[in-house]
Structure formats: structure tokens, C-alpha cells
Amino acid sequence: MNSSNLIPRSRRLFGLLKLPVLMLIAGTVFTAVGQQAPTSFDRERGHVMLRAIKDDLKKNYYDPTYHGMDLETRFKAADEKIKDATSVNQIFGIIAQALIDLDDSHTFFLPPRRANKTEYGWRMKMIGDKCYVAAVQPGSDAEAKGLKEGDQVYAIDGFGPTRENLWKIEYSYLGLRPRGGMHLFVIKPNGERDEFDVLAKVTPGKRVMDLTFAQGGSDTWDLIRDEQNNSRLNRHRYVEMGDGLFIWKMPAFNLDESKVDEMVGRFRKSQGLVLDLRGNGGGYEITLLRLLGNVLDHDVKLGDIKRRKETKPILAKARKDVFTGKLVVLIDSESGSAAELFARLIQLEKRGTVIGDRSAGAVMRAMFYDHQAGLDVIVPYGVSVTDADIVMSDGNSLEHVGVLPDEIKLPTPADMAAKRDPVLSYAISLAGGKITPEKAGELFPIEWRK
């Protein structure tokens, strides 16, 4: 079980689906093949998973009324549905839906690792109230078919993405039920409408992985290399500009306290800091509090943690030598949880300026519980359970609300198509620097899995 975390359901989360495998003791790991008809063993495993998740909820969920949901009735219905499921994917979907009904950003099912690796070759995100293609991978089928950055995604296999349902679409396609492709209906920046059947790159994998090192440990090393690749893609990046300005692209609140202090040491004497939290889905509470303590010159109450049986304050304590320069924080629709708490507290304390797009509105505190089904051959899975609501110092919760920036700044479809970043360019100007949108778009290019 991990320490307290502030990571909601998001695209970034599904890169963590394989982590329970790496935390297991040496053994043989079974991975899922989702489209096949379930065996009696598959169904029994689904029943076992559902019971374990129900127990985690009953013991740890912060609201003993479960938002008015009858937990026994809901999970009994899910248990019955598993008996009639026609695929392993459907079993996972039934388990996930039992938690989705809580409408809680931090309570969700993490299914077993899939045998095959599915890569769609493009990314989407909400900008304002519309969904756009944010990136297209070179050499992908998406690129070959003519999908481009700045295209508005009007429908995916008949479903229109919105701020409210995009996470469900991503949860399904990335976590629960990876597909071999999808049908897209898009609107080009010039207003023309187009349709694409975009194929995913599906790399076959092993259904059973041997982590005992009995055969030289090749499966274990494959997992380690895969995780190293994830670490590369999610590393912290920064640029130091000659006019005393530091730009930090922070992908997640995932640094320990010493690493936070080390990073702050790089810009402590700078005149300005642009903290880019766009796409930052959240992370660990200790990282959030340490960073706040490095940019605020006094102790501050972030808010109250409201658990099932207790309410207690959560405090950020100021460090001795804090950063005192100009602070500009960037957020967007993918900024979640810890990123939202940081941005909102900066607003409440009038410490800096927050610009960009309205954030995700996914702000709770949760614990991750990892499980395994089986003995010699094991199936790892997990569940994130909200153990506390967070009510900020102004008396409000950000869950389902988000942070409204001091200034709304959004890229246009033309900016995205040209790979310009006018939002970062503007943020740098507020912090005392100068850079064109074209050059700003080159600072932190999108990277892809090798």
C-alpha cells in the first residue's frame, strides 16, 4: 500500500497499471487477454477481485454512507453480472463500474496488466469545453491517415468527448478495454469535417511472466526496462533563461522532500519561476507540502482533511530559505488534485499568478491497495480508495469544481497545428522574460515511448 496520494483517474495514471507487478516478490505473473471468452477460473477470479475491493471500500472509504449508494446491493448486482459476462474485458468493466457509480475522482479499479501493449499513436485533451488532438506520434497510423494536432475530436466510436466523460473514455481505452483501433470524427481548424479509422500499434506480449529468475530473469528485466522508459517520459524538465528566469515542467508531484529541496535550490535565487503544471495529474501529499513550504514565507493551512471519523488540518511549513521571486503557475484541464491544491493556495495567499485553463476538479486524498489473486501463478491488481475529502482554507472543496485561473489563456487550433505555445510564452512574459510562442513550443517537446 502506498502513502497518501493525490492522483486522480487520468491518462497519466494508466502508466502505473504495471507497478504492482514490480512490487511483488519473485513469482509467476499471469497477464490478461481481454477479448477471450472467460473460463470458470476467470469468473471466479473476478468474484474474488470484487470481494476484495468491496472490503477495501467498507474499511477505508471516507464517507460511511457511500454518497447514498447501497453498497451491498450494488456489489451483489455486480457479482451477478460477472456470472453472465462474455469476456474478461467485460468482467473488468463490471468491477470498474461498481466504483464509477460513486462519482469519486480518486476511487477506481486498476485491472491486471495486459499481455499485449496497445499504443494509439495520438493524444487528446480538453481545451476550454472542446476536445482536441494534442499530439500525433511520428510514424503512427494516425499520422498516416491524416490526423493532425489542432483537429477537434467531435466523436470517438460514436461518443462525444466532454469534460465530464473524457476520463471515462480514456479509462476504457487505456485501462479497461484496449482496442485495436477507433473510428474518429473530427473537425479541422478550417471547419472541414473528416472521419478516420485509426489503428493502434498492438505489440504481443506474454500471458504468463516468470519473475523467479529461473530462466535468467528476462521477463523481470523487460519489466524494469519498461518502467525505466516510463520514468524517462515522466521526468522533470527545466530551462534556465539568462535573465534570471527558471521554467520548471513538473509532470507529477512525485519527488521526495530532498529532491524537492534540490530542485528548488536550482531557482531559489532566480528573479522569476514559471511552474508548468499542465498535464500534472497530482501525486504525493509530502511533495505538495514541501514545495509549498519552499515558495511561501510563512506556515499556512492548506485545508482540512475530512475522514470517516476525524477532521484534522493539513499544514505546509515554511522552509528557512524560501524562493521569493515572481511566481507564475500554469494549469490546464489535465491538472489534477495536488496540482490544483497548489494552484489554488497560491491564489488564496496572493503569492503569484495562475494562468491557463480550468483544472480537472479531481481533488480528494486516496490510498492505493495492491492485491494479487492466486498462489504460484498470481494476477496482480489494485484499487485506489478515497480516504478523505479536502476542504480548503476558504471553506470550499475543489472536487468537481476545479481551479479557475486568474487569467484564462488557451492555445488556438492553429497554435496547436503549428506547435506554438502562446500560453507558456505569456507566462514567461509575466515572470519577466521574453520568448516567442514558436520558441516556447520547442522548450518541452512531447516525447513518445521508444
| b/e per residue 404-442 (b: at least 16 CB within 10 A) | ebbeebebebebbbbbbbbbbbbbbebbbbebebeebbe
User: For each of the chain's 450 residues, which pLDDT tens digit applies?
Assistant: 344 565 554 433 433 333 333 333 334 444 455 567 888 888 999 999 999 999 999 999 999 999 999 999 999 999 999 999 999 989 999 999 999 999 999 999 999 877 788 999 999 999 999 999 999 999 999 999 999 999 999 999 999 999 999 999 999 999 888 999 999 999 999 999 999 999 999 988 766 656 565 666 666 666 667 767 777 778 999 999 987 999 999 999 999 999 999 999 999 999 999 999 999 999 999 999 999 999 999 999 999 999 999 999 999 999 999 999 999 999 999 999 999 999 999 999 999 999 999 999 999 999 999 998 766 667 889 999 999 999 999 999 999 999 999 999 999 999 999 999 999 999 999 999 999 999 999 999 998 887
- What three-state secondary structure class fits 200? coil
- Return d(Cα 405, Cα 333) in angstroms, integer: 11
Q: Give pLDDT, residue 10.
A: 45
Closest among 96, 72, 79, 20 to 44, alpha carbons compared = 79
User: Which CA distances in Å does 265 have to 291, 322, 324, 326?
Assistant: 11, 9, 12, 16
Domains by residue range for the chain, with CATH: 5-112+205-231+367-385 (3.30.750.44), 117-203 (2.30.42.10), 235-365+389-443 (3.90.226.10)
Q: How far apart are CA 339 and CA 363, in angstroms?
A: 9
Distance between CA atoms of residues 292 and 346, nearest Å? 9
Strand partners, 124: 133
Q: What is the pLDDT of residue 341?
A: 97
Closest CA relative to residue 54, chosen from 30, 69, 71, 31: 71
**Distance between CA atoms of 220 and 435, rounded to whole angstroms?**
45
Q: Do residues 368 and 15 make contact, with C-beta atoms less than 8 angstroms apart?
A: no
Alpha helices in 247-369 (DSSP H): 257-267, 285-295, 338-348
Of 5, 15, 10, the closest CA to residue 233 belongs to: 15
Alpha helices in 300-385 (DSSP H): 338-348
Using CA atoms in the order 181, 186, 188, 189, what is the torsion angle rounded to 10 degrees?
Answer: -110
Query: In this predicted structure, what is the pLDDT of residue 91?
Result: 94
Q: What angle do CA 136, 140, 144 make, to 5 degrees?
A: 90
Distances (CA, A) of 394 to 296, 362, 397, 419: 17, 18, 9, 38
